[in-house]
Chains A and B, each alone.
Chain A
């Protein structure tokens, strides 16, 4: 089955700095890679996703890159703000709603004002 590794487990940055979270996956059949943000005690919410036919996707301060050959993808947050503080999860799955996503272990991002 799929195995997703996520690093680092904790990331502490100063407001305004950039933050990068990296994930690797094992199953070359995976072609859909979402990122979720979970604030304390709340539900995970999709913040950005990327498919295997694209190498990079950007949405304002958030970007995701994908290297299919190396089987890794990364989340980049620029100009971090205190409200970006949360746990971020990467996931990998095969496209199609019935396919179960495999989640990384999560990264706790702390943005210091």
Chain B
């Protein structure tokens, strides 16, 4: 099946610093990728839709200036958490469909962010 990777798998940073998370589709091209945030024992909360070559579409309530998304190539999307605060600590997961007409979402392994 299709493979989506994420890097890093976990990161600890100090409050006020920025953290970049990468999401890669390893064996397919993804014009669209989705970024989710997941709190312990809760569902996946969609943060934004990353579109290759254009601006990301953010969900209501998600600060675009705080969560910067860049989809510079057909296999890479990045999420940068700027000026991180402890409340940004969470599990961040990306997903991608294998094509514009396919339905199955393949998820990355997730990144555990802890902000001290």
Contact = CB atoms under 8 A, between A and B. Distances in A.
Interface of A: 32, 34, 36, 41-46, 49, 87, 89, 93, 95-98, 100-101, 103-106, 108
Contacts of B42: 105-106
Of the four ranges (under 10, 10 to 19, 20 to 34, 35 or more), the interface on chain B belongs to 20 to 34
B32 interface: yes
Given A42-B109, A43-B107, A43-B110, A97 B44 contact: no
Contacts, number: 57
Contacts of A44: 44, 93, 107
B108 A46 contact: no
Interface stretch (B12-20, B66-74, B96-104): B96-104
Residues of A contacting B: mostly: loop
Interface string B65-105: 00000000000000000000000000101000111111111
Contacts of B34: 100
Contact of A97 (B43, B46, B91, B103): B103
B107 A93 contact: no
A98 B103 contact: no
B44 A89 contact: yes
Nearest to A94: B103
B104 A49 contact: yes
Contacts of A97: 32, 97-103
6 smallest beta-carbon distances between A and B, as pairs = A97-B97, A43-B107, A105-B43, A32-B103, A97-B102, A43-B109
6 contacts: A34-B105, A41-B91, A41-B110, A45-B107, A98-B31, A105-B43
A44 B112 CA distance: 15
A103 B34 CA distance: 13
